[in-house]
Each structure stands twice: as structure tokens, then as C-alpha cells.
Amino acid sequence: MQNLLYRWLLLVGLGHVALGVVLAFAAHLPITDAYFDYLYASVASQPPSNEYQGLLRTMVGLFGPTVASWGLLFCALVVLYRQHGHRLIKPALFAALLVWCVLDSAISSYFGLMLHAYLNTLAVLSLAVPLLALRPLTACR
């Protein structure tokens, strides 16, 4: 069971890497039009200008590398925790998840982006529950 939890956490972390890389390059592609239409409808009462649309797409594209790097760091910490059992890793990961989820969900909810808040809840549960149950192979001395 521990190997399954470990692999799941690595898969979710690597999924963040892949999603971040795709987001960086796909933000200006037509495949993301539905998502951006959702964003525009949530925060504006009238259709946005082309300049605003380009700016928002660029900002979302710039967010992609942040998501990708977070996934890499998450994977590295999960590997270190699993192999060595450093006691500070698990609380640090939970603190990072809490800061991200609470702030991102609060901001999303404030601006009516409830889909983001729901996805955050799903994402944090997919990470926190397995992380809670994960045990190291060896205890740190």
C-alpha cells in the first residue's frame, strides 16, 4: 500500500509538471478558448478587449512554469521523505498545500471562479490524504 501511495504522489507531482509546461505553451492556442471564456464571463460584465485577452493569456502562460516547478519540488520532497524520513518534510508539504489551497480558493471564490475552488479541493485532497498515510522507508535519526 505504501508503494501505491508513493507512486500516486509522484504521479500527481509529475502531472503538475506536465500541466505547467502545457499551460506555458497552450495559453495562446484556440484549445484554451473555453477556459478563457469562463474566466472572462466570471470577472467582466462585457466582452474584454483583444489587448486584455492577450494580457490575461500571457499571465496564465507565465503561471505555467510556476506550476511545473512546484510539481518538481513536491516530487523531490516526497522522494526525500520516503527514502530518509526527515521529520520536517511532511509538515512543510502540508503547510504549502494549506497556503496554496486556502488563498487560491478564497481569491477564486471572491471573484466567482467557483470551478477553481472545486478543482483546488479535489487537488488538495488527492495530495493530502495519501501524504498523510505515507510512511518513510527508514526513520530519520
pLDDT digits (tens, 9 = 90+) for 1-11: 999 999 999 99
Judged against a pLDDT cut of 90, whether residue 15 lies above it is answered with yes
- Among residues 79, 69, 123, the alpha carbon closest in space to that of 100 is found at 123
Residue keyed to cell 495559453: 27
DSSP assignment of 46-99, as one string? SPPPHHHHHHHHHHHHHHHHHHHHHHHHHHHHHHHHHHH--TTHHHHHHHHHHH
All residues at 6 or more sequence positions from 141 whose CB lies less than 8 Å from its CB, including other chains: none
Judged against a pLDDT cut of 80, whether residue 138 lies above it is answered with no
Q: pLDDT > 90: what percent of the chain?
A: 72
pLDDT digits (tens, 9 = 90+) for 50-86: 888 888 899 989 999 999 999 999 999 999 999 998 9
Contact 80, 137 (CB under 8 A): no
Q: What is the pLDDT of residue 140?
A: 58
Q: What is the pLDDT of residue 80?
A: 95
